[in-house]
Every structure is written in structure tokens, then in C-alpha cells.
Amino acid sequence: MSEKIVKDYLLEWKMNSNEGKIIFIFEDDSDEKLDGLEVKEFTAMTAVLEKGETMFDDDEKTLYNVMP
């Protein structure tokens, strides 16, 4: 399992095509881009991101929050 802490992120929603893009920037300054997200995927991911400290599993392409 390859986990990284999300340091920052950029959100993009294309209204004409109803597709989203999220760019994750990690603590090691690497990044990951997820394109072509449907509204349900995009909304679910932004809900996790807004909760606070978020981890990203690169192998599973999974987001989850870390409890303090």
C-alpha cells in the first residue's frame, strides 16, 4: 500500500461536459491527477477532502481521513 498525505489540492468542474478533475499535491511535493470524474465521484472526493487531513492510497486510488 502506497499512502501519501494530501498537502493541497485543486478542483476543476467543467460545466459544459459535467466532468471534474482533482489534482492532489502531496507532502513530498509529488502530485496525482484524476480526470474525467463524474458528479458522484467528484462530490464524494470533495466531501472527504473538506474534512481535514486526508491520506491518498496510490495503489487503490482511495481517499480517507486521518483521525487526530
Q: What is the pLDDT of residues 4-46, one digit of tens each?
A: 999 999 999 999 999 999 999 999 999 999 999 999 999 999 9
23 touches 33 (CB < 8 A)? yes
With bands split at pLDDT 50, 70 and 90, how would you rate the model's confidence at 52? Answer: confident
Which helix (H) or strand (E) element contains residue 43? helix 39-49
Supply the pTM of this predicted model: 0.85
- Distance, CA of 45 to CA of 67 (rounded, Å): 17
